[in-house]
Amino acid sequence: MILHKFKNQADLDRAAADLIISTVRAKPNAVLGMATGGTPVGLYKEIVKSHQQGLVSFAQAKTFNLDEYVGLPITHPESYRAFMQRNLFDHIDINPANTHVPNGNAADVDAECRRYDEMMYEQGPVDLQLLGIGHNGHIGFNEPDTQLSRFTYKVTLKDETREANKRFFNSLDEVPTHAVTMGMGSIMQAKAILLVVKGAEKAAILDATLNGPITTQVPASLLQTHPRVIVMTDCDVEYKR
Ligand code: GLP
């Protein structure tokens, strides 16, 4: 892993955006793995700015999002499809047909998971996967457990994850209890991974991710086995090799 530390979030957002932009400039039909949550909002703004300045086109790019809530209508502002439209897709020249987010409202969720995996297999591999991290070490919505899923699957969200995400809803009751997420296998298939970690309260889980044992109880620790992971953070952490 390569660790890049930043003094402020504005510099971090710019650097993360630049890595994504340079990936697409080098390969216009790049496949990008996208993430949601509070973390990527600023870097998406930087990408939009650069696009508006004519510095990057996404006309040939494809995207696959990590995850989506189950049972939240896509018209709900906190659905990950709505998040992506609002923060990125509506402001760049990407072909809407090339933006993929799992369908958390599919009548047959298991069939939707297989469809998503097949699409990723046919159109992938992902050139650059953007990741945030949950306080408990989840990536996508792969929650700590005794075993992790390789493929896209329906996951029961941990109480701490629903608690962390309740800030986006009116109350905890409104936070969905389940989500569809790319499995660890799909995430690890990406040619390169950009993990963005912001805020002092994530320093401990980032330290565990970088330096702790590789364990299913900290899903992000599996990234230690990936050959090309870039971590960008404003946390005060060291990478102890
Ligand atoms: C969410 C998402 C993750 C995200 C994480 C952290 O629920 N499923 O993809 O990385 O939790 O979110 P935030 O960036 O808001 O701290």
- Domain coordinates in residue numbering, the chain: 11-198
DSSP class of residue 54 equals T
The predicted complex's ipTM stands at 0.97
CATH for 11-198 is: 3.40.50.1360
Q: Which of 79, 197, 69, 226 is nearest to 137 (CA)?
A: 197
Residue in 34, 68, 83, 165 to alter for ligand 1 test, most ligand atoms within 8 A of Cβ: 165
Q: Write down the number of H helices and E strands in the chain.
A: 7, 10
Please state the pTM of the whole predicted model. Answer: 0.97
Which one-letter amino acid corresponds to residue 143?
A: E
Three-state secondary structure of 173-192: HHCCCEEEECCHHHHHCCCE
Q: Indicate if ligand 1 lies below 6 Å from the C-beta of 141.
A: yes
Q: pLDDT digits over 170-227, tens only?
A: 999 999 999 999 999 999 999 999 999 999 999 999 999 999 999 999 999 999 999 9
Residue nearest to atom 9 of ligand 1 (CA): 140
pLDDT tens by residue, 93-115: 999 999 999 999 999 999 999 99
Enter the DSSP assignment of 7: S
Residue 226 appears among annotated catalytic residues: no
List, in order, residues 6 or more apart from 118 with CB less than 8 Å away: none
Burial of 215 (0-12, 13-18, 19+ CB in 10 A): middle
